[in-house]
Amino acid sequence: MAAPSIKVSETPLVLYLLRRADDALILGHRLSEWCGHAPMLEEDMALANIGLDLLGQARELYTYAARVEGKGNDEDKLAYLRDVRQYRNLLLVEQPNGDFAHTMVRQFFYSVFADLYWRAMMKSSDATLAAIAARSEKESAYHVRHSSEWMLRLGDGTAQSHARAQTAIEDLWAFTGEMFALDQAERALVDAGIAIDPAAIRPQWLMTISNIIGQATLARAKGDWMQQGGRIGHHSEHLGHLLSELQSLQRTFPGARW
Amino acid sequence: MYTQALNASESDERQVEDAVRNAAFQARIDDEERIEPNDWMPAGYRKTLTRQISQHAHSEIVGMLPEGNWITRAPSLRRKAALLAKVQDECGHGLYLYAAAETLGTSREELVDAMLAGKAKYSSIFNYPTLTWADIGTIGWLVDGAAIMNQIPLCRCSYGPYARAMIRVCKEESFHQRQGFEIMLTLCRGSEEQKAMAQDALERWWWPVLMMFGPPDKVSQHGDVSTKWKIKRFSNDELRQKFVDATVPQAKFLGLTIPDPALRQDADGHWRYSEIDWDEFKQVLAGNGPCNRDRMAARRKAHDEGAWVREAAAAFAEKRKPRHAAQAAE
Amino acid sequence: MATPTTPLWEVFIRSRNGLAHKHCGSLHACDATMALQAARDIFTRRGEGLSIWVVPSNAITASDPSEKGMMFEPAESKIYRHPTFYEIPEEVGHM
């Protein structure tokens, strides 16, 4: 008898927080999959650090979401007892790790966005969010540095690393648009100064990634069709497998404390 | 400091080690002086330490795998973060230890190549599988507990870089054991299924953990010089006994039963345990443990698939070199 | 063919304002940027650092241990360099 999924009261702020928490958890989880398998030990350390940063952000955001929701849920109930259709993360972060180039390009695209996003969110009219943003921004700044340095080394390293990096850019490009989308559900929060409209940071994001991609002797992807759906629970097939693994113990032992 | 150039011209195998130098070296050891990388040392000292430190390093790295196996399934966010941080620490320990081993003149690449080729050993304990979440608690409680027993005396080992690496390791290691014990406590205070999970894990790990301390004193071949050179401060059996004495009360506190029906406390308060199955130990060392093949395959895969990444980093650095040299000269 | 080796770096960390950098270990990296990042990830996870120096190991010149006598013993007999060598009457106060 498995533990059933909880129902969450997705009022605007709760929904907003779940989206960002899910982004951080899923990406952190993906990075933790590298532990013990990275190309060199120094990178095992680095990826674990980034993963821990993201996990920490997720926990803060879930905890706040549970508090705002006020229905007795907590970080673990939210993370372990919502199913695929209830998860609200970007499609980008649930993509499989692939090779190291895919992992780094994914990290690069996301971190440049996250750093700009959290910096802007430090001015949120919600004090808790502003504080979370301030802490998260320092972490994202480091993630930007780390992934940018790898973009340079992969793009301007060997022919093989260049080809893999270019492939990764092509493969992941269509998932980048979703980061900048704003839907009706968040419009009210933006108007209240609680959240920002991510479209506002897209020009800067584009400039930063184009700059690094250029320095790395790589090319931007062609085509501008953008995938979306993650924000409303229309995920890729990858998320289901990820959640099966993540949630397995809690689902198997309903009500147990760990 | 760690420049190897000073000793590079000596060919340790061919040089005749005169009695005077050896005696002076032994006197330094007896005086509790620390030997540093560029000090004169007998070839045997260098060889034995290189073997021991690198084996320790390999163990930390391979040790990431059984615990890493449960990161994606950790049952709460707090446990997930703690486990990821713990496994990351093990990686860091491997790095400190490779760095210490390298000061003796063998590169990290050579040491790692030897491990991947199956020529170097790592601790037998990591050839056992983690089947349940309780295994993660058990590893923290018992495996790290045993490692701490071993590592605290090593903080006073005669070789400076190894001793300093161990001090760093020991500072970080105590969170590891506490994390494991806390997991066990939670399970033992939980549902019947969780208690059974904890008991089952203890039963599968107890004997392999006792084997971690190595063969009984009367059999161990490396003992004598290691003791003379203050690399090894206590014997295998001494450490094993210390560990059992510390752990039995902990198991009692948890309400778990150690899988040794003949376990008895003697008149001096020591817990006497039954005969260990040294055949199992031999088999595991020979590569026939449950996970030897999987562990080696995983490390080889990471190494092989990571080659293009390492090459890219090296190629990039090479391209940037002339420019940096020119800038530095300005 | 032997595996090519990655350069070795020595790491020095300043843990608190006012203290000197202290040697804490070594690591492998292809260039200075990677070395700095690796040092941060390996040696400062528990708040041990305010400042990091990384130095290529082969840039360090070390004194030869076999010359310890020549290098350091002569200083031991120059006790007039220590304040305790000099007698100052107590009435003068602290000096």
Q: Which chain B residues contact residue C57 at CB under 8 A?
A: 1-3
Q: Is A2 among the domain residues?
A: no
Which of A84-93, A137-146, C86-95 shows the lowest mean pLDDT across its residues? Answer: C86-95
3 state SS of C54? strand
pLDDT of residue B324: 54
Q: Is A25 among the domain residues?
A: yes
Residues A134 and B292: beta-carbon distance below 8 Å: no
Superfamily of structural domain C8-92: Phenylacetic acid degradation B (3.10.20.520)
Query: Are C38 and A45 a contacting pair at CB < 8 A?
Result: yes
Q: What is the pLDDT of residues B67-96, one digit of tens each?
A: 999 999 999 999 999 999 999 999 999 999
pLDDT of residue B8: 39
- Which band of pLDDT confidence, cut at 50, 70 and 90, is reported for residue C91? confident
Quick one: average pLDDT of B243-261? 98
CA atoms within 13 A on the CB side of B213: 24
Chains touching chain B, criterion 3+ CB pairs below 8 Å: A, C
For chain B, what is the mean pLDDT?
91
pLDDT of residue B15: 54
B108 touches C at CB < 8 Å: yes
Q: Which of B109, B165, B316 sits opposite C5 (nearest CB)?
A: B109
pLDDT of residue B305: 97
Query: Are B313 and A153 a contacting pair at CB < 8 A?
Result: yes
- Residue A48: CATH number of its domain: 1.20.1260.10
Nearest chain A residue to C30, by CA? A153
Query: What is the nearest CA distance from A148 to chain B, expressed in angstroms?
Result: 13
Residue with tokens 């020979």: B286
Q: What is the pLDDT of residues A211-253, one digit of tens each?
A: 999 999 999 998 889 999 999 999 999 999 999 999 999 999 9
Query: Are A44 and B88 a contacting pair at CB < 8 A?
Result: yes
pLDDT of residue B326: 54
Q: Is A1 among the domain residues?
A: no
Q: Is A55 among the domain residues?
A: yes
Structurally, chain A folds into a number of domains equal to 1
Q: What is the pLDDT of residues B127-183, one digit of tens each?
A: 999 999 999 999 999 999 999 999 999 999 999 999 999 999 998 888 899 999 999
Q: What is the pLDDT of residues B170-225, one digit of tens each?
A: 988 888 999 999 999 999 999 999 999 999 999 999 999 999 999 998 886 666 78
The DSSP-derived string for B89-147 is: HHHHHHHHHHHHHHTTT--HHHHHHHHHTT-S---GGGGS---SHHHHHHIIIIIHHHH
Q: What is the pLDDT of residues C51-74, one digit of tens each?
A: 999 999 999 988 887 777 777 777
pLDDT of residue B3: 36
Chains touching chain C, criterion 3+ CB pairs below 8 Å: A, B
Residue type, A128: T
pLDDT of residue B10: 47
The pTM of this model reads 0.93
Domain ranges in chain C? 8-92
Query: What is the nearest CA distance from A209 to chain B, expressed in angstroms?
Result: 19
- Which band of pLDDT confidence, cut at 50, 70 and 90, is reported for residue B2? very low
| Helix axis angle, A159-172 to A100-121, nearest 10° | 50
Q: Is A144 among the domain residues?
A: yes
Q: Is B299's pLDDT higher than 80?
A: yes
The ipTM assigned to this model is: 0.97
pLDDT of residue B141: 97
Q: Is A68 among the domain residues?
A: yes
3 state SS of C30? coil
pLDDT of residue C2: 52
Q: What is the 3-state secondary structure (H, E, C) of A89-107?
A: CCHHHHCCCCCHHHHHHHH
Q: What is the pLDDT of residues B45-73, one digit of tens each?
A: 999 999 999 999 999 999 999 999 999 99
3 state SS of B183? helix
pLDDT of residue C45: 85
Tell me the two tokens of residue B55. Answer: 């084996």
- Give residue A223's domain range: 12-252
Which of A116-125, C27-36, C42-51 shows the lowest mean pLDDT across its residues? Answer: C42-51
CA B169 to chain centroid? 10
